[in-house]
Amino acid sequence: MAYDEYLQERIDRILSEKNILHEARKMMGGLCYMVDEKMCFGIVKGDFMARVGTEQYSILMEREGARPMDFTKRPMIGYLFVAPEGVDREDDLEFWIQRCLDFNPEAKASKKRKKSSEGS
């Protein structure tokens, strides 16, 4: 198991209850939830990955289980990992999902790769 499937079920239920259109993609060894074609949040092993932007970053870092998202010893600005103890309770998971959904309209979508032209 590359990511926590029970956490996936809980997230899927919350998004369904909120009627949030989304796409779940396997990415970075985990699962990434796309909202409006932008990475919104995800699951990496047992951690919840939150895209929250920079404005609320330092405040959110104070919540239980939150830490900088760091894959390569360089934290990704505006992203956090939340350890399982920070999302064990439903209201905590809903809090984090809502913070990510609140930031999503401000988030920039990744640039689409140009498809190579045939015959060039």
| pLDDT over 70 (residue 2) | yes
Q: Is residue 28 part of a domain?
A: yes
Provide the domain limits for residue 43: 5-104
> What pLDDT digit, counting tens, does each position of 15-69 carry?
999 999 999 999 878 999 999 999 999 999 999 999 999 999 999 999 999 999 9
Mean pLDDT of 81-107: 97
85: domain CATH number?
A: 3.90.1150
Q: Is residue 85 part of a domain?
A: yes
* Sign of the alpha-carbon torsion through 67, 68, 72, 74: negative
Domain count for the chain, please give it.
Answer: 1
pTM, two decimal places = 0.88
Q: Is residue 17 part of a domain?
A: yes
Q: Is residue 114 part of a domain?
A: no
